[in-house]
Homo-oligomer: A and B are copies of this chain.
């Protein structure tokens, strides 16, 4: 399945555990070349440094995060955002205060669908 409905409702959606303790995700809308994902972190949880061929944008909806991209770390708060402009650029996030990230990927993260 490479496309879901036009509308996604939080109360009909499921949380997935991730490989990172204290980090859960909910898949939002997606098609072949775009996917949005909501990711909730507990305080102290670490989204380990990783890389993938997808390009990624991320909006900090709440909380405080120390985000590392390509070896540079910055502290981001609600309203801030980050961007991974090319594939396989190493990035990760440490949650300083519990919060939520809204990720966008191009293309689709087929691995997230498989994990569901």
Across-interface contacts of A70 in B (CB, < 8 A): 6
A58 within 8 A of partner (CB): yes
Across-interface contacts of A72 in B (CB, < 8 A): 6
Partner of A5, one of B34, B57, B61, B83: B83
- Interface of chain A: mostly helix, strand, loop or mixed: strand
A64 within 8 A of partner (CB): no
A36 within 8 A of partner (CB): yes
Partner of A33, one of B29, B55, B74, B102: B55
A110 within 8 A of partner (CB): no
Partner of A81, one of B3, B28, B56, B79: B28
Residues of A within 8 A of B (CB): 3-10, 28-31, 33-36, 38, 55-59, 61, 67, 69-70, 72, 74, 76-86, 102, 104-106
